[in-house]
Amino acid sequence: MFKITALVHVMAMPVLMGIFVIAALNIPGFNDSRGILLAAAAGFVVAIPVSWFVGSRIWRARRA
């Protein structure tokens, strides 16, 4: 299951990081370099449970 989760993470991570960075750029006062880096780091962290959830669902569907 780890391989599937890692592959999903590689795909989900840049999507979520991009969403968080775009949101940070639209928030006044948060669009400096620190805010952008914080938003990218938050996207990376949020991608971990998302990829675990999606990976486990794929694993279960594959075994059924």
pLDDT tens sequence across 18-53: 999 999 999 998 888 999 999 999 999 999 999 999
Q: What angle do CA 17, 33, 8 make, to 5 degrees?
A: 10
Q: pTM of this prediction?
A: 0.86
Domain hosting residue 27, numbered range: 2-63
Cα torsion at 36, 46, 10, 4 (round to 10°)?
A: 180
Indicate whether 64 pLDDT > 80: no
User: Using CA of residue 11, residue 33, residue 19, residue 16, what is the dihedral sign?
Assistant: positive
Query: Structurally, how many domains does the chain consist of?
Result: 1
pLDDT at 1 over 80: yes
Q: What is the mean pLDDT of residues 57-61?
A: 93
What is the pLDDT at residue 31? 81
